[in-house]
């Protein structure tokens, strides 16, 4: 499902009621769709219920990457 400006306006009116400039209403769907794509792409990397060892591998990879940073 893709988020569009119309959906942003409807959700904002129903839930938040925050005054949003038209330019921001146009930008938000792009940002939300990019975030959604990133979550879908990376989900298998953090789906720890499939293989319990995945959590350990993720921690190890994070630790190794942090150790390489200057």
The pLDDT value given to residue 46 = 67
Lookup result for tokens 């409807």 = 10
pLDDT at position 67 over 90: no
The pLDDT value given to residue 43 = 76
Residue pair 54/48 in contact by the 8 Å Cβ criterion: yes
| 11/46: higher pLDDT | 11
Rounded to an integer, what distance in angstroms lies between the CA atom of residue 20 and that of residue 62?
Answer: 37
DSSP SS3 for 3? coil
The pLDDT value given to residue 15 = 92
List, for residues 19-43, the tens digit of each pLDDT value: 999 999 999 999 999 988 888 887 7
């Amino acid at each position: 499902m893709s988020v569009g400006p119309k959906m942003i306006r409807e959700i904002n009116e129903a839930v938040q009621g925050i005054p949003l400039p038209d330019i921001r209403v146009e930008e938000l769907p792009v940002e939300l769709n990019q975030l959604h794509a990133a979550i879908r792409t990376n989900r298998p990397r953090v789906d720890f219920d499939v293989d319990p060892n995945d959590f350990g591998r993720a921690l190890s990879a994070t630790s190794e990457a942090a150790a390489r940073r200057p």
